[in-house]
Amino acid sequence: IQELNSIELFESLSDFRLLSLPDTTMLFANDAICKALGVSREQMIGLKWIDFANPEDLKIILEKISKMSPE
């Protein structure tokens, strides 16, 4: 069995996966999320994922995130 590194694992998933800073600046986005948004990974990196969130869902999203990490 071939061992996958974390980037390869993220890429192999069809679910949206990203890595971001606490201010929501994206450091990594997998192909699934890039394809869904119609942008390249290079275009995604450095953007804030919060800008892509549905404004109606934003309060709930931020509440859930705050429960995951105090930062």
Tell me which H or E stretch contains 59: helix 58-68
User: Using one digit for the tens of pLDDT, what is the confidence trace for 9-66?
Assistant: 666 667 888 888 888 899 988 888 889 889 898 998 999 988 888 899 988 988 887 7
pTM of the model: 0.66
- Do 54 and 33 meet the contact criterion of CB atoms below 8 Å apart? no
In this predicted structure, the answer to whether residue 70 has a pLDDT above a threshold of 60 is: no
Give the model's pLDDT for residue 1: 47
Comparison of pLDDT for 3 and 23, the residue scoring more: 23
Give the model's pLDDT for residue 46: 93
Give the C-alpha separation, 13 to 45, whole Å.
Answer: 18
